[in-house]
Structure 1
């Protein structure tokens, strides 16, 4: 843990989170293994590498390591040169374990690759540890996930549950956050996980700027479904796009399902079903996510009192804002503002 960061307990769950107050450099060490997916390695370096303070200073130092330094075969027709060995893990504030082509075990006939125990023993207590896709099997083999929630690519969830019954496997979410241990689903969910960690460390403004630079959605809640039935509307089938655009323009007012459905000329029942097929969550869940994100931005960027922020974000009352914000973010609005205001 960097001296600039402190551990705070999340009141709603009893777990811990890292809040970095003075934006000191934070070292992210990425562990790669034979068969690594280059796109996953690129995601970590691209997103954390773009994070900047208000003064333009880099917020993360990203280092790649392997169990044996040198050439590492990817799952493509080229190798990558890795200069650092497992000793780099000892200096990490965050360790991210990527997936590899043979992580699927009996499903593909390949072995479940895991680092030797002495490599993971180098990681300091309090270090944040995360996995992308089937990198979760490495964390599972090390016993890090016992008694915790975890996810992975939906194709491999059954195997994770079967091999490691002590893990609470959630196969239908984008990522899980247990404070000091995080896991994500497939490649695209790795983007969401990295942005989530940046947001948790340095606030919504920094994470949104990274998302803009990468041209990706700035925020998808971890509980959103991995698999969306209809991500692109079929020809001749109505979409809920008009309702979503209208809701964004009127987020500060109460919005009913009937109003939203009317925007796309649907019954409430049809609209609710179509919305979940297209977005992966219910309209109410989606609205709550947007409102929490609006509240984050206002807490960071304005001096408005909490009750005014509650109104602008569409929660109506300060009590409602506090309840939803605590559930979604894990800290109160006042603690969030004290941490990130003026960053």
Structure 2
């Protein structure tokens, strides 16, 4: 049985507690206690969250947990000397140490991210980059594994990280069952972007939203502006003008972004050949998709796939 500990501080984000559900449901799905789950704090007792709801914690004692996670404080206060010392000990004695959302700042304050790749909520990535130049911040990631250190992006990404830990420990079938038990529509792998192409477009009218939804469902087709305009019941010229006014980009650019997002997700999952991904997402051929990937992501689909191989370090 593996011992897991979540370290919380006053004003911690409640979503951190939800991330422990991955371990809880791994126990339930497996029908045995795979994980011994603990919540710790520097002094023990009740610790108030950012929502003023308090949780009971045990005081720091034995640092020899298999996995130690650290939650961030919403008030942006630095981790105390005691918390930093515990994290340093954990990094020495534990198999892995993970930060949930802005908990990455506590790891950075303890010097545990120096020279490592790490991610954090995109709103605070610049702050981390400025204050901790020794950290290789990559904000456009759901979570990153660098050696024994795991870091995650904001909020729900913490759950993606802990499900990723379950997968690392006991395999993909159990991780999928945990995701299904938690009623997650899709479990995101570590390298996935924090941003959604559809969310970033945010049209204001139902007509443009309808066209975007149609495009997302039919990426495999050779979609044209005329096709999307017909769905929106607008002339191609009026559609293009309205689309750009509402989303800030052209229909062609938006369509490429949707295709790139879908292709990247399929490559993460690793169940399809590069040719199949190119066909299913509407790129048509692998060369056209490779050029788009190089331009936007700075690497080829094949290189990205190697990043998501089961034994890889993100």
Q: TM-score, normalised by structure 2?
A: 0.71
Say whether residues 1:93 and 2:84 are aligned partners: no
Distance in 1 between the 2:222 and 2:157 partners? Answer: 32
Distance in 2 between the 1:261 and 1:209 partners? Answer: 39
Say whether residues 1:57 and 2:24 are aligned partners: no
Alpha-carbon distance, 1:140 to partner = 0.3
Distance in 2 between the 1:203 and 1:61 partners? Answer: 18
Alpha-carbon distance, 1:62 to partner = 1.4
1:164-313 equivalent positions in 2, closer than 5 A: 164-228=132-196, 230-231=198-199, 234-235=204-205, 236-238=207-209, 239-245=211-217, 259=222, 265=228, 273-275=253-255, 283-284=259-260, 286-293=262-269, 295=271
Q: Secondary structure at the match of 1:201?
A: helix
Distance in 2 between the 1:223 and 1:188 partners? Answer: 15
Alpha-carbon distance, 1:190 to partner = 1.2
5+ unaligned residues in a row in structure 1: which ranges? 1-24, 104-110, 248-254, 296-308, 333-343
Q: Is the 1:87–1:122 contact (alpha carbons within 8 Å) kept by the matching residues of 2?
A: no
Alpha-carbon distance, 1:146 to partner = 0.5
Distance in 1 between the 2:71 and 2:180 partners? Answer: 24
5+ unaligned residues in a row in structure 2: which ranges? 230-235, 237-248, 280-299
Q: Secondary structure at the match of 2:126?
A: helix
- Root-mean-square deviation (Å): 3.6
Larger radius of gyration: 2
Query: Which has the larger share of helix?
Result: 2
Distance in 2 between the 1:189 and 1:216 partners? Answer: 12
Distance in 2 between the 1:26 and 1:192 partners? Answer: 19
**Structure 1 residues 57 and 159: CA distance shift in structure 2, 3 A:** same
Say whether residues 1:70 and 2:66 are aligned partners: no
Alpha-carbon distance, 1:329 to partner = 2.2
Q: Secondary structure at the match of 2:208?
A: coil
Distance in 2 between the 1:321 and 1:136 partners? Answer: 29
Q: TM-score, normalised by structure 1?
A: 0.66
Say whether residues 1:113 and 2:92 are aligned partners: no
Aligned residues: 270
